[in-house]
């Protein structure tokens, strides 16, 4: 690959002419790059990109069209590269019928081959980078894909070059590949062992940020941990204030709160409850929408993907890939079923999280309408006060489409059930939740052909019924503002 692109670099000053295959148009300019699929030239019209299968290239600087392996550079956290991305690349190769070989000289590099003739088709190269640097790599052309523990910031979005298309959070450029649990730890001298989501948000987002009063003691809260993980927690909680600086070294800090994806042996685990001011129960850890499941993002450089990169991207949203994610120990989109009366505590959790002013009728209707159905773990969430799904839900749409195509719902009744937060009137929220359920059903219908559509696609709006979390935080409202898939 180095020799291939080096020959282009040496000939950049030499002009080439690109001619449409029917001869109707041609343009000349200095060759900037050729990736095996597209020419990029600097012409009198500015930078132009033309597909190689649409044009002839004329001139001494034209590259040879002999097969050259596609180079796919991925930047991301080293531990996630090893534990998640590399196994998924191998699963992709097996799914596509390719053979592959791990490099002994260059850790993090794997080459895919055509098993018929041993031709190298693609080289994946994984680099250990934090989220900030990984996103910088795709913006500056050093990587094709970035594996990050947080979404791109507004500042990173603003650095997009004018010749790039889309945005970093557009579904064609961003997906949630998996989720992982974030754990909170305190110093052993801190008596707090259980806190609610509301208390956690207040600790990190209010001034002064204080731990709950326990045993007559209330400590100032200081968030610590790796930058990626503290930012992931803040994005999850919708707390955008920077963490308070820690006191100088040597000063006792019993209010330190450490966030980590791993066990911190010397500290004490702090458990977070979904319930509204209710004591934490061990079963809460397995409850729906466990609060500290942080998404792992895969973000693509906002430019046209090459063939194998595009195929790998599409593979990651297949049921096979998501099953592999789950097998690797991460939280995946693989559908799980929950009965409303099951041991998961779905109904009990809803009752505990019900606002005092919520109509009992809403909860009663939820139980009556959903009795006999099973809830799928896949959900679609919306921006506040809007019918627009968030970026994660856009990826869920593509995954749901693949489930329908694979016949997962064949012979079953499928119901799209909308829910709302408790902002606004109860009647208005029922209508909003129904409108969102209809919007998801309509969107899915546009993605399927007639043979995959079902007359059993029903919709239901239940407003504030079956809340997953308290509505007293932005996080809780977002959890409750959703459309779910129920089947029987």
CB 419 within 8 A of CB 485: no
Query: Is pLDDT at 290 greater than 90 in this prediction?
Result: no
How confident is the model over 96-153, as pLDDT tens digits?
A: 999 999 998 898 999 999 998 898 999 999 999 999 999 999 988 899 999 999 888 8
Q: Are residues 170 and 192 in the same domain?
A: no
Task: Confirm whether pTM is higher than 0.95.
Answer: no
pLDDT band at 74 (very low <50, low <70, confident <90, very high): very high
Higher pLDDT, 75 or 213: 75
How confident is the model over 436-466, as pLDDT tens digits?
A: 999 999 988 888 876 666 656 899 998 888 8
Looking at residue 156, which CATH number applies to its domain? 3.40.190.10
How confident is the model over 108-119, as pLDDT tens digits?
A: 999 999 998 898
CB 279 within 8 A of CB 273: yes
Higher pLDDT, 25 or 287: 25
Higher pLDDT, 337 or 197: 197
Q: Are residues 272 and 166 in the same domain?
A: no
Mean pLDDT, to the nearest integer, of 392-402?
85
Return d(Cα 102, Cα 83) in angstroms, integer: 15
Structural domains of the chain, count:
4
CB 413 within 8 A of CB 458: yes
Q: Which range, of 39-43, 168-172, 400-404, averages the lowest pLDDT?
A: 168-172
Residue 285 has what pLDDT?
A: 39
Residue 136 lies in a domain: yes
Query: Is pLDDT at 162 greater than 60 in this prediction?
Result: no
- Using only the alpha carbons of the chain, give its radius of gyration: 26
Mean pLDDT, to the nearest integer, of 307-322?
93
Query: Is pLDDT at 410 greater than 70 in this prediction?
Result: yes
Q: Which range, of 20-29, 66-75, 346-355, 455-464, averages the lowest pLDDT?
A: 346-355
Helix, strand, or coil (residue 55): strand
Structure tokens at 217: 């003691």
Mean pLDDT, to the nearest integer, of 389-406?
84
Q: Are residues 111 and 192 in the same domain?
A: no
How many Cβ atoms from other residues are within 10 Å of residue 370's Cβ?
24
Residue 323 lies in a domain: no
Q: Are residues 223 and 275 in the same domain?
A: yes
Q: Are residues 132 and 111 in the same domain?
A: yes
**DSSP letters of 93-136?**
HHHHT-EEEE-SSSTTEEEEE-TTT--EEEEEEEEE--HHHHHH
Query: Is pLDDT at 179 greater than 50 in this prediction?
Result: yes
Looking at residue 8, which CATH number applies to its domain? 2.30.30.100
For 395, the domain range is 335-487
Return d(Cα 102, Cα 125) in angstroms, integer: 10
CB 156 within 8 A of CB 150: no
Q: Are residues 400 and 467 in the same domain?
A: yes
Residue 163 has what pLDDT?
A: 47
Comparing CA positions, the residue from 284, 279, 252, 264 lying closest to residue 192 is 279
Residue 252 has what pLDDT?
A: 67
Residue 286 has what pLDDT?
A: 37
Higher pLDDT, 372 or 171: 372
Return d(Cα 316, Cα 405) in angstroms, integer: 16
Q: Are residues 237 and 268 in the same domain?
A: yes
Q: Are residues 458 and 345 in the same domain?
A: yes
pLDDT band at 336 (very low <50, low <70, confident <90, very high): confident
Per DSSP, 251 falls in state S
Q: Are residues 385 and 479 in the same domain?
A: yes
Residue 471 has what pLDDT?
A: 85
Q: What is the mean pLDDT of the chain?
A: 83
Query: Is pLDDT at 279 greater than 60 in this prediction?
Result: no
Q: Are residues 442 and 477 in the same domain?
A: yes
Q: Are strands 256-260 and 222-224 parallel, antiparallel or unpaired?
A: parallel
Return d(Cα 221, Cα 224) in angstroms, integer: 10
Give the Å distances, CA to CA, from 113 to 70, 308, 403. Answer: 11, 12, 29
Mean pLDDT, to the nearest integer, of 192-217?
88
Residue 444 lies in a domain: yes
Mean pLDDT, to the nearest integer, of 320-324?
94
Four-CA torsion 345, 349, 351, 354, nearest 10 degrees: -160
Mean pLDDT, to the nearest integer, of 326-337?
89
Structure tokens at 406: 């694979």
pLDDT band at 28 (very low <50, low <70, confident <90, very high): very high
């Amino acid at each position: 690959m180095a020799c291939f692109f080096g020959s282009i670099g040496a000939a950049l000053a030499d002009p080439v002419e690109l001619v449409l295959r029917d001869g109707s148009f041609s343009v000349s300019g200095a060759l900037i790059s050729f990736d095996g699929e597209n020419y990029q030239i600097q012409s009198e019209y500015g930078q132009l990109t033309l597909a190689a299968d649409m044009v002839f290239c004329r001139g001494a600087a034209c590259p040879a069209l002999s097969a050259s392996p596609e180079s796919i550079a991925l930047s991301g956290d080293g531990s996630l590269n090893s534990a998640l991305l590399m196994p998924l690349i191998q699963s992709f190769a097996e799914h596509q019928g390719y053979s592959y070989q791990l490099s002994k000289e260059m850790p993090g590099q794997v080459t895919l081959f055509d098993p018929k003739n041993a031709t190298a088709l693609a080289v994946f190269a994984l680099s250990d980078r934090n989220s900030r640097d990984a996103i910088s790599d795709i913006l500056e052309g050093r990587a094709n894909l970035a594996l990050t523990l947080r979404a791109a910031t507004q500042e990173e979005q603003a650095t997009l070059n004018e010749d790039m298309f889309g945005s970093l959070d557009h579904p064609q450029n961003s997906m949630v590949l998996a989720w992982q649990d974030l754990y909170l730890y305190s110093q052993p001298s801190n008596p707090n062992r259980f806190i609610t989501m509301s208390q956690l948000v207040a600790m990190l987002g209010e001034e002064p940020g204080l731990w709950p009063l326990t045993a007559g003691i209330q400590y100032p809260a200081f968030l610590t941990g790796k930058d990626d993980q503290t930012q992931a927690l803040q994005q999850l909680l919708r707390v955008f204030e920077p963490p308070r600086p820690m006191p100088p070294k040597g000063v006792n800090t019993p209010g330190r709160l450490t966030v980590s994806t791993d066990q911190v042996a010397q500290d004490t685990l702090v458990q977070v409850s979904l319930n509204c001011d209710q004591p934490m129960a061990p079963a809460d850890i397995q409850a729906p929408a466990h609060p500290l499941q942080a998404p792992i993002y895969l973000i693509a450089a906002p430019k046209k993907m090459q063939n194998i990169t595009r195929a790998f991207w599409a593979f990651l949203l297949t049921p096979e890939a998501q099953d592999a994610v789950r097998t690797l120990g991460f939280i995946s989109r693989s559908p799980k079923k929950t009965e409303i009366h099951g041991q998961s505590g779905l109904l009990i959790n809803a009752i505990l999280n019900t606002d005092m002013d919520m109509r009992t009728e809403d909860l009663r209707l939820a139980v009556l309408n959903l009795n006999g159905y099973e809830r799928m773990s896949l959900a679609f969430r919306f921006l506040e006060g809007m019918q627009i799904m968030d970026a994660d839900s856009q990826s869920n749409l593509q995954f749901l489409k693949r489930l329908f195509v694979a016949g997962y719902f064949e012979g079953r009744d499928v119901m799209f059930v909308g829910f709302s937060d408790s902002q606004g009137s109860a009647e208005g929220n029922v209508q909003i939740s129904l409108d969102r359920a209809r919007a998801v059903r309509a969107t899915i219908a546009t993605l399927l052909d007639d043979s995959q559509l079902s007359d059993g696609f029903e919709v239901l709006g239940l407003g504030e019924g079956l809340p997953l979390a308290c509505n007293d935080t932005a996080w809780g409202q977002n959890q409750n503002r959703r459309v779910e898939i129920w089947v029987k």
